[in-house]
Amino acid sequence: NAGVTQTPKFQVLKTGQSMTLQCAQDMNHNSMYWYRQDPGMGLRLIYYSASEGTTDKGEVPNGYNVSRLNKREFSLRLESAAPSQTSVYFCASSRRRQGLEAFFGQGTRLTVV
């Protein structure tokens, strides 16, 4: 019973490098999300996808791109990493209906030096 799986768990990048964070869910959920967690800031929404083939910006989208590859997978790409993107990134998924909870992955701890 995997739920939401994120890879990698840890990553160190140099400024200017690119990388893709992967997320997959096996619960047949329509909606998927990417959040970043920073001390004292809570979780802030980067992008979300209400269904396969659609994506929308959240609160802090600058410097990121996303791809909803299929219903299961939602990836987050950093094209040119900056130290300000050092954070813990969480992927989540839910059914697209009020009142239903979102399920979270274990997180990716990214450090940009």
Could you list the residues that contact another protein (CB under 8 A)?
4, 31, 33, 35, 40-45, 48, 50, 56, 58, 90, 92, 94, 96-107
Which of 55, 85 has the CB closer to another protein? 55
- The least distance separating another protein from the CB of residue 33, rounded to whole angstroms, comes to 6
Which of 31, 85 has the CB closer to another protein? 31
Question: In 10 A of CB 105, how many CB atoms?
Answer: 23
Exposure b/e, 14-50, CB count within 10 A at least 16 = b: eeeeeeebbbbbeeebebbbbbbeeeeeebebbbbbe
- The least distance separating another protein from the CB of residue 29, rounded to whole angstroms, comes to 12
**R_g over Cα of the chain:** 13
- The least distance separating another protein from the CB of residue 18, rounded to whole angstroms, comes to 25
